[in-house]
Amino acid sequence: MKKVILIDDEPLARLLLREYLEKYESVEVVAECNDGFEGAKAIAQLHPDLIFLDIQMPKINGFEMLEILQEYPSVIFTTAYDEFALKAFEANALDYLLKPFSQQRFDLAMQKWLANPAVSSEKTENIAEITGKQPDEHLRIVIKDGTEIRIIPTAEVEYLEAYDDYVKIHHKGKTHLKKKTMNYFEKTLDSRQFIRIHRSYIMNINELTKIESFEKNSYLAILRSGARLPISRTAYAPLKEMLGI
Amino acid sequence: MTKLLQHRFSWIAIALLLVDIGYYFLLRRYGVSHGAALSDAVSSYFWLAFFSFILQRIHSFYHSRSAINVVHISIITVFSLLISLLTQWYGNWIGEQDETYHQLLSQLFFVRWFILFLILLTIVNQLWIDKHLQEQRLAFNHLLEKERQLAKAEMNNLQQQFQPHFLFNSLNSISALVKSQPEKAREMLFSLSDFLRLTLQKGKDDFNSVAEEIYYLNLYMSIEKVRFGNRLNVEIKDSGECENVQLPSLILQPLVENAIKYGLNSKTGEITISITIECNDNHLMISIRNPYDKNSANAVNGTGFGLKSIDRKLKLLYKQADLLKIEKTDDDFTVTIKIPGP
């Protein structure tokens, strides 16, 4: 028996999926979820083989939910209209259903998956790359701390620090790790608020209280929290420009 | 633009120079010595250029409604008199040995003044026309820009009403209902059709009565209620007194859509959207309240594009700021719009 989870914030959309799934006897719907949080939880508990995932959902969107998963089931995306996502799907050859879709179109997606479930699961892992292209995503960062899922509004982030393969996110006196690169954050964060001041640091400009000179030609950024971050020589000019000095 | 002005100005300078050279030869014909004619020509050219420059500076700051007016004439009169006096004084000083020149100077004082007056008048005219054209072009560009923004706002408006996301999700819901609850599917299809038809129709009008807006809103909400099932409740507190008051068309629906979106997105479980409509002699007040969870990141981003564009629309229509107010408490998000009376 293959396990399937339906994740969509509209009950009727889930009802339709259930109806279309009726004829697949080897497939069982083990859970229905209303948003990404519930979805992530259910996936961790029930280890489904396949999920149907909507993109625009409450709290965190479908991509963000995938980002915090430990294990990746196969995914068939269902979406009404999402220009950004469509481009990403096509680039990654992921299967998606455009609402409203027919039983025939649905069957096609199911047959593709049934024929080769493992391949789709691999593709899902690549989806993390897509997420930065979602328009609402530079507004928040989703983090998994052990079993807890945290959403940090990017405006509240103090600074980001490179940490091996991770990026350390400093937020309200705490740090969180996220498996992304500094370049990723430099590209996706709002450039009016965040600036890369060093190979290893991206700073929230609103947290800056003063710039201290330190030795010859080198500077330190002092943040509201008292943190002292080095400013690289090449970053000093763009920083001054951003501050209008 | 300044480049062009400078360009024009250099043409004026060249034309004056040619006149001045002619003037030199004229003096020579009257038997004035080479030295006296040259210095007279050079000094008058210098002063003329100097005062023309001043005129140009004046014109870059100030623009009168007509080219010839009292201010212009008096400035030109004074300037041409000054140039005449200055050249006269200079001529007397250098032309002591040249009797012919000396005589000419005093004889021709008024003629010179008059000619200089005409020259300066021509220059002022030219400058005025330049400035006038420049201002016209600016006004025209301004108008174009305004038109472009209006067209853009209209487009945004349409797009907002016709959110493809809303449309396709509604169609999907209908598709789901067809088998299990065909009656309900049909009902929703009608609501959706009516809603779209009204959107097309009302999108063209500028104003609507409160009653019409509420009818439209109810259509929209009946669709959303089917989509979100039990999760969505809407209550309208309306005394009915304001039914005939006019307000900008299709302004309520996007506000409610916003409230539904952020209410549903930030909270799991059931939510209630409350709409209150009140009016007095001076204005109409409509507030829309939705619950939200301040800890949810979606709630933080609640003041999105939709609200901003409505605020802008109100500002454009009523030329008044602060017609849209946002209040946040720990668990409520309220948007209030104030529509000034006629």
Chain-chain contact of B301 with A99 (C-beta, under 8 angstroms): no
Contact residues on chain B for A58, CB-CB shorter than 8 A? 264-268, 298
| Spatial separation of the C-alpha atoms in residues B72 and A35, rounded to whole Å | 75
Chain-chain contact of A140 with B297 (C-beta, under 8 angstroms): yes
Contact residues on chain A for B164, CB-CB shorter than 8 A? 80-81
Q: Among the listed ranges A47-61, A203-217, B150-164, B250-264, which one has the minimum average pLDDT value? A: B150-164
Structure tokens at A49: 């083989």
Check residue A60 and give its pLDDT.
79
Q: At what angle do helices B2-29 and B34-61 cross, to 10 degrees?
A: 160
Domains and CATH numbers, chain B: 2-152 (no CATH), 162-340 (3.30.565.10)
Using a 10 angstrom Cβ sphere, with 0-12 exposed, 13-18 middle and 19 or more buried, the burial of residue B137 is exposed
CA neighbor of B42 nearest in space, from B91, B6, B109 = B91
What residue ranges in chain B does DSSP mark as E strands? 207-209, 232-238, 246-248, 271-279, 283-291, 324-328, 332-340
Q: At what angle do helices B109-161 and B252-266 cross, to 10 degrees?
A: 60
Q: Least CB-CB distance to B172: which of A100, A139, A153?
A: A100
pLDDT over 70 (residue A138): no
Contact residues on chain B for A35, CB-CB shorter than 8 A? 268
Give the β-pairing of B324-328 and B332-340.
antiparallel
Chain-chain contact of A81 with B227 (C-beta, under 8 angstroms): no
Chain-chain contact of A80 with B180 (C-beta, under 8 angstroms): no
pTM value > 0.80? no
Q: Least CB-CB distance to B227: which of A12, A16, A60?
A: A12
Q: Which residue of A has its CA nearest to B297?
A: A153
Q: Do A63 and A97 meet the contact criterion of CB atoms below 8 Å apart?
A: no
Among B163, B261, B298, the strongest candidate for a mutation testing the A interface, having the largest count of A CBs within 10 A, is B298
Q: Which residue of B has its CA nearest to A81?
A: B165
- Can you give the residue ranges of every domain in chain A? 2-127, 135-243
Right CATH number for A2-127 from 1.10.760.10, 3.40.50.300, 2.60.120.260, 3.40.50.2300?
A: 3.40.50.2300
B299 three-state secondary structure: helix
Chain-chain contact of A59 with B180 (C-beta, under 8 angstroms): no
Residue B285 pLDDT class (50, 70, 90 cuts):
very high
Mean pLDDT of A50-76: 85
Contact residues on chain A for B173, CB-CB shorter than 8 A? 10, 12-13
Check residue B58 and give its pLDDT.
82
Check residue B302 and give its pLDDT.
45
What's the first-to-final CA gap in chain A, in angstroms? 66
| Spatial separation of the C-alpha atoms in residues B307 and B143, rounded to whole Å | 26
Fold held by A135-243: OB fold (Dihydrolipoamide Acetyltransferase, E2P) (2.40.50)
Q: Do B260 and B273 meet the contact criterion of CB atoms below 8 Å apart?
A: yes
Chain-chain contact of B301 with A140 (C-beta, under 8 angstroms): yes
pLDDT over 80 (residue B62): no
Chain-chain contact of A58 with B176 (C-beta, under 8 angstroms): no
Chain-chain contact of A99 with B226 (C-beta, under 8 angstroms): no
Chain-chain contact of A100 with B298 (C-beta, under 8 angstroms): no
Residue B177 pLDDT class (50, 70, 90 cuts):
very high
